[in-house]
Amino acid sequence: MRIIAGKHRGRVLKTFRGQDVRPTADRVKESLFQILSARLAGARVLDLFCGSGALGLEALSRGAAQVVFNDASQESLAILRGNLALLRESGEIMNKDYAACLCSVEGKFDLIFADPPYREEYTQAILSAVSKRELLNPHGLVIVESERDELCPPKWTVFDQRSYGRTKITMFTRSDE
């Protein structure tokens, strides 16, 4: 796993051993960040299920101003801290369940990455919490990685949706803006 572009282009990131964790494939990350490129300069980003931090670190490399990294796993956060040190970057780190994070995180975001475990259904709960707490800036996006097509709840619009093998990327924006 590596940084695809930006000031840290080509840097190899620390990752997990074994098959228990599914990091975003480089080709998926490259395509996703091509779509998001115009939105990254100065952006405030939440990486909700950050794992090793690959999505948030890619955002920082491409010009995001701030990333809040969250994961419930101490092992994931240890790898994230190693990657932040490797790149000499910083970010706010939270060690919470995704719901607790969404209830306590402060401020609004331009991009919210949600790459939860594939076999669980989190999208509706995430979008509901984001709406309730008004965590998304106008024209901001919630980007969900899953293995199925995500249903679009009321007050949301699918901005873009792509498939990469079994991986689906769905980008939601608020429709009541």
- pLDDT given for residue 24 in this prediction: 75
Q: Dump pLDDT digits (tens) for 102-147.
A: 999 999 999 999 998 876 789 999 999 999 999 999 999 999 998 8
- pLDDT given for residue 148 in this prediction: 78
CB contact at 8 A, 143 and 169: yes
pLDDT at 20 > cutoff 60: no
Q: Dump pLDDT digits (tens) for 25-69.
A: 778 889 999 999 999 999 999 999 999 999 999 999 999 999 999
Residue 6 DSSP label:
S
- pLDDT given for residue 177 in this prediction: 52
Architecture per CATH, domain 27-174, reads as 3-Layer(aba) Sandwich (3.40)
- Domain residue spans in the chain? 27-174
- pLDDT given for residue 51 in this prediction: 92
Helix, strand or coil for residue 65?
Answer: coil
- In the structure encoding, which two tokens stand for residue 44, read together? 């405030």
CB contact at 8 A, 134 and 59: no
- In the structure encoding, which two tokens stand for residue 4, read together? 């695809």
